[in-house]
């Protein structure tokens, strides 16, 4: 089945629209398009970083570096920090949109937990790469701090997923589309978790040189799958447009009749 270029572009653009038809100015953000476009851009940047590192710095036929390892090298570290720092507001927007859609099914305690987890994860993602940059710039050993943040981020992510699936399970009663989608999302998350566990396993036994390249491959797959999660989750949202209004003062036009 042929897919036109315009149909592909329409999936990611436009990500926002300015509405000035009323007295208020509204900025409509199409969350699904924004999350998909940001995931694609991150995927492209990561691929370019890995390819360029293999061309200029490593012989990837014998040793394939992980993103964490690449982050220790000057030049690459800044690209990764800037990329995932730019992803922070996208994540905050995603967690805000998720909270808006799930709020009706959450208790007060769960609402607070989901908000806190969303904020912590949003800032923990770029912080892991900032640590790598600091370690490479000042020759500070921060591997344990890096590991602690990654483990904490994974743990918080699992808690958030469990809470979100509880919300989707309640919402499926009112929507057959929700019922079908959350099962597909569960399969995707299960595959992502399996890849993550393999990545952790190969990292733990990374002293075996035969597993180093395998560790890198599964880390790339884990990161690549994870950056698309906001987009996939947003497909289950009932509210897919984020509207920001800016109230404009009313002006009266004074005229004179001759």
Residue 82's pLDDT is 87
- What pLDDT, in 10s, does the model give residues 150-197? 889 999 999 999 888 888 777 765 555 556 777 788 889 999 999 988
Residue 16 lies in a domain: yes
Residue 82 lies in a domain: yes
- What pLDDT, in 10s, does the model give residues 43-63? 999 999 888 888 888 888 888
- With cut-offs at 50, 70 and 90, classify the pLDDT of residue 92: very high
**Across residues 108-116, what is the average pLDDT?**
89
Least confident of 25-39, 96-110, 165-179, 240-254: 240-254
Residue 32's pLDDT is 81
**Across residues 243-251, what is the average pLDDT?**
54
Give the chain as a DSSP string: ----HHHHHHTTS-SEEEE-SSSEEEEEEEHHHHHHHHHHHHHHHHHHHHHHHHHHT--TTT----HHHHTTSTTHHHHHHHHHHHHHHHHHHHHHHHHHHHGGG--HHHHHHHHHHHHHHHHHHHHHHHHHHHHHHHT---HHHHHHHHHHHHHHHHHHHHHHHHHHHHHTTT-HHHHHHHHHHHHHHHHHHHHHHHHHHHHHTTTSGGGHHHHHHHHHHHHHHHHTHHHHHHTT-S--EEEEEEEPPP--------
- Using a 10 angstrom Cβ sphere, with 0-12 exposed, 13-18 middle and 19 or more buried, the burial of residue 16 is middle
Residue 238's pLDDT is 66
Residue 120's pLDDT is 94
Residue 255 lies in a domain: no
- With cut-offs at 50, 70 and 90, classify the pLDDT of residue 23: low
Residue 28 lies in a domain: yes
Sequence-separated (6 or more) residues with CB below 8 Å from residue 18: 25, 26, 27, 28
Residue 109 lies in a domain: yes
Classify 60 in phi/psi space as left (phi over 0), alpha (psi -120 to 50) or beta.
alpha
Residue 245 lies in a domain: no
Residue 148's pLDDT is 86
Residue 255's pLDDT is 39
pLDDT at residue 257 is higher than 50: no
Residue 128's pLDDT is 83
Residue 251 lies in a domain: no
Nearest one of 131, 156, 155, 125 to 145, comparing CA atoms: 131
Cβ(256)–Cβ(33) below 8 Å = no
Whole-angstrom Cα distance, residue 167 to residue 54?
Answer: 43
Residue range(s) defining the domain that contains residue 82:
12-239
Which of the pair, 188 or 144, is modelled with greater confidence?
188
Q: Residue 14: is the preceding peptide bond cis (ω within 30°)?
A: yes
How many folded domains does the chain comprise?
1
Share of the chain above pLDDT 90, in %: 17
Residue 219 lies in a domain: yes
């Amino acid at each position: 089945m042929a897919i036109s270029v315009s149909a592909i572009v329409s999936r990611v653009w436009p990500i926002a629209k300015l509405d000035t038809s009323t007295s208020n100015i509204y900025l409509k953000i199409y969350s699904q398009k924004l999350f998909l476009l940001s995931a694609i851009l991150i995927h492209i940047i990561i691929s370019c970083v890995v390819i360029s590192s293999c061309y200029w710095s490593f012989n990837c036929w014998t040793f394939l570096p992980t993103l964490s390892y690449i982050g220790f090298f000057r030049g690459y570290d800044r690209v990764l920090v800037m990329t995932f720092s730019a992803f922070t507001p996208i994540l905050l927007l995603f967690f805000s949109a998720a909270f808006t859609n799930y709020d009706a099914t959450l208790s007060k305690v769960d609402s607070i937990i989901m908000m806190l987890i969303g904020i912590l994860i949003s800032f923990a993602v770029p912080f892991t790469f900032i640590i790598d940059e600091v370690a490479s710039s000042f020759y500070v050993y921060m591997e344990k701090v890096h590991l602690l943040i990654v483990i904490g981020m994974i743990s918080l992510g699992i808690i958030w997923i469990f809470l979100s699936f509880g919300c989707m399970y309640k919402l499926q009663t009112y929507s057959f589309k929700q019922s079908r989608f959350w099962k597909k999302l569960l399969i995707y998350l299960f595959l992502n978790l399996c890849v993550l566990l393999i990545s952790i396993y190969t990292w733990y036994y990374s002293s075996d040189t035969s597993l180093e390249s395998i560790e890198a491959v599964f880390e790339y797959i884990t990161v690549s799958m994870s950056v698309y999660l906001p987009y996939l989750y947003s497909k289950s949202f009932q509210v897919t447009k984020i509207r920001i209004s800016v109230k404009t003062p009313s002006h009266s036009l004074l005229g004179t009749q001759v």
